[in-house]
Amino acid sequence: MANPSKIKEGSVVYSLGELDGKKVEYDFAKVLIYLEAKGRMLFGKHFKIYEEDKSVLLRLCNYMVKDYDNCSKYGIDPDKGILLTGPVGCGKTSLMRLIRHIVPHRRPYELIPARNVAFGFNHIGFKIIEDYGNGRFYCFDDLGVEPMGRHFGKDCNVMGEIILSRYELFLSSKIPTHATTNLNAEELEKRYGKRVRSRMRQMFNLIAFDKNTKDKRT
């Protein structure tokens, strides 16, 4: 991509900031304009960015564009993945689907519902854990509400095992993993155990919506 500070959607060119030599100086106000427009393309004309969500979006955007100064300011490690938490319906999935579009010059992650992974285990067994422990980029959506896996009479906490595999990948290759969840730290530990929760602390930057964020699907 010749100039990552400009993104073309149809006949419209959106500016996200200024290209200064080899570095883009992103302008958050311009990024928001693009994200709202792209959101309408992806999710329909009803999509809007809410004022109360802008602080979450600011952190996500700084992470995506690897603005090291602002990441440091907000306590974000650009090498780790994102764990985006918040109540049901607050817009976690939509934002994770949306923000990857501001860096089209970078390798995108795939959004995979955690429940689909568990269902996949039920059909093909432990190969699913190998498949998601590979070098691809993933965001596991709705982590913690998926059912336990069961294949030929053997139960498995599928996402817990995949997190452990992705942790090894993170250590060896610095390949990040992202996830969204409605659960808090205690609930995640109860669901996956202390070992997985400990790995998650090392793998993820926690970015959280306010617990009182309204359900945007109502």
Residue with tokens 């109360």: 52
Rounded-to-integer distance, Cα 64 and Cα 25, Å: 13
Residue 214 domain flag: no
Residue 102, classed as helix, strand or coil, is helix
Residue 1 domain flag: no
Residue 91 domain flag: yes
Amino acid in position 71? C
| pLDDT for res 133 | 86
Residue 215 domain flag: no
Residue with tokens 């429940």: 115
Amino acid in position 83? L
Residue 36, classed as helix, strand or coil, is helix
Residue 158 domain flag: yes
H or E element in which residue 117 lies: helix 114-124
User: Per the structure, how many domains does the chain have?
Assistant: 1
**Domain carrying residue 36:** 6-208
| pLDDT for res 2 | 66
What CATH number is given to the structural domain containing 189?
3.40.50.300
| pLDDT for res 210 | 85
- Reading the block at residue 13, the tokens are 């060119």
Kindly give the confidence (pLDDT) of every residue in the chain, 218 residues in length, as a single tens digit, with 9 standing for 90 and above: 568 889 999 999 999 999 887 888 999 999 999 999 999 999 999 999 999 999 999 999 999 999 999 999 999 999 999 999 998 888 999 999 999 999 998 889 999 999 999 999 888 888 999 999 888 999 999 999 998 888 887 888 999 999 999 999 999 999 999 999 999 999 999 999 999 999 999 999 999 998 878 777 76
| Burial status of residue 37 (CB atoms within 10 A of its CB: 0-12, 13-18, 19 or more) | middle
Residue 218 domain flag: no
Beta strand ranges found along 57-98 (DSSP E): 81-85
| pLDDT for res 216 | 75
Specify which residues 18 forms β-bridges with.
Answer: 25
Can you spell out the DSSP letters for 150-192?
Answer: EETTEEE-HHHHHHHHHHHHHHHH---EEEEES--HHHHHHHH
Residue 74 domain flag: yes
